[in-house]
Amino acid sequence: MKPTDLAIRLSSFLAEHLPAQRNASSNTVKSYGQTFALLLIYCRDCHRVPPQRLTLDRLTPEVILAFLDYLEGERKCGIATRNQRLASIRSFFRYLQEFEPARLLQCQRILAIRGKRAPANTVINYLTPERMKVILAQPDLTTRNGRRDVAMLSLLYDAGLRVRELTDLSLADVRLDTPAQITVLGKGRKRRIVPLLSATVKLLRAYLRDERPGNADRPLFLNHQKMPLTRAGIRYIIRKYVGVAGTGDAGLHERVSPHTFRHSKAMHLLQSGNPLAVIQSFLGHSNIQTTTTYAKADLEMTRAALERTVSATSRVSLPSWIEKPDLLTWLRSL
């Protein structure tokens, strides 16, 4: 079957334009690819158009808007994820308009689609140190998989890693001799050095004794098929242990994702009195404003705690004229 115009342009966009002309990282290319994979699935399931027959003509602004609603409604994606998918689509149509002038109007209409504004929210999903200890205590250290899981989850928390940073780690990125540290490839291909605590080093040593790795370039964490652990695999492992730990703690039934571990580490560092600049460097944030979100969240939680506390001022009786906002109403009540 002859490839469609969409297949030709999309292949060129992902395989040539992004890596060669825009110098996009492999993770960025994968993210863009996932967006269009979801778009193909949407058109197949909701519009009865198989991927091999989907053309550029069918990708109208109305279809793109419906796809974004599908992400939120059917796939339960948040507004940030929805906007990220839209950004990928807009990038493709910005590229497309240079090669297909006849589609300029179609491209510009799609480029005019705006991202959805997320409500202001300083609530960050994180775990207390006590709950984090409960989760990390669940793996069975007498088994090989248990030693792998506790080492992986401890590293995810201890180093405050993004899940992609964890899956990208190789043996060559890990130094267990003093000073113990890992080299992390973060967003924008920026590398940072993250120190490791002695407890995590001990767990990693036990895990690597089981593995007896020979090739320094191989991924740090493998599944039972000796393949690199994926994001989905890590999410599955976390859900498994959270489910067990949550049987005696209703609070652990809340949604816990790999990023919850990163949020938890950041909040614990902040609550221990570390400056925001130190936390920014540790997490690899390019903008201090991103790190400030944790400080705002901590202030909101402090405020909520204060409101739950009985204040001495709650026993003070205000004069009746102060309690009544309408002076005339108060005068008539005398």
Query: What value does the mean pLDDT of the chain take?
Result: 86
The pLDDT score that the predictor gives to residue 2 is 86
134 and 283 inside one domain = yes
149 and 63 inside one domain = no
**Sorting pLDDT into bands at 50, 70 and 90, what band is 321?**
very low
CA angle 167, 15, 85 (to 5 degrees): 65
18-27, 193-202, 303-312, range with greatest mean pLDDT = 193-202
**Sorting pLDDT into bands at 50, 70 and 90, what band is 47?**
very high
Whether 133 is covered by a domain: the verdict is yes
The pLDDT score that the predictor gives to residue 126 is 87
Instruction: Report, as an integer, the average pLDDT of 161-180.
Output: 93
Residue pair 18/24 in contact by the 8 Å Cβ criterion? yes
- Neighbour tally for 165: CB within 10 Å: 22
168 and 295 inside one domain = yes
Full residue range of the structural domain in which residue 245 is found? 129-308
152 and 92 inside one domain = no
Instruction: Report, as an integer, the average pLDDT of 263-288.
Output: 89
207 and 255 inside one domain = yes
186 and 291 inside one domain = yes
Euclidean distance between CA atoms 318 and 312, whole angstroms:
13
60-69, 267-276, 300-309, range with greatest mean pLDDT = 60-69
Amino acid at 301: M
The pLDDT score that the predictor gives to residue 139 is 93
Overall residue count recorded for the chain in this entry: 334
Whether 322 is covered by a domain: the verdict is no
Is the omega angle on the peptide bond into residue 3 within 30 degrees of 0, that is, cis? no
Long-range contacts from 83-86, C-beta under 8 angstroms, 24+ separation: 83/115, 83/116, 83/118, 84/31, 84/35, 85/35, 85/38, 86/113, 86/115
pTM greater than 0.75 (yes/no): no
The pLDDT score that the predictor gives to residue 224 is 85
pLDDT for residue 212 is more than 90: no
The pLDDT score that the predictor gives to residue 255 is 77
Pick from 254, 258, 34, 277: nearest CA to 123: 254
* Catalytic center residues: 162, 187, 259, 262, 285, 294
237 and 99 inside one domain = no
Long-range contacts from 192-198, C-beta under 8 angstroms, 24+ separation: 192/281, 192/284, 194/159, 194/160, 194/161, 194/282, 196/155, 196/158, 196/159, 197/158
161 and 252 inside one domain = yes
Whether 181 is covered by a domain: the verdict is yes
The pLDDT score that the predictor gives to residue 252 is 66
116-120, 261-265, 313-317, 328-332, range with greatest mean pLDDT = 261-265
Whichever domain contains 169, its CATH number is 1.10.443.10
pLDDT for residue 326 is more than 60: no
Whether 228 is covered by a domain: the verdict is yes
pLDDT for residue 249 is more than 80: no
Whether 317 is covered by a domain: the verdict is no
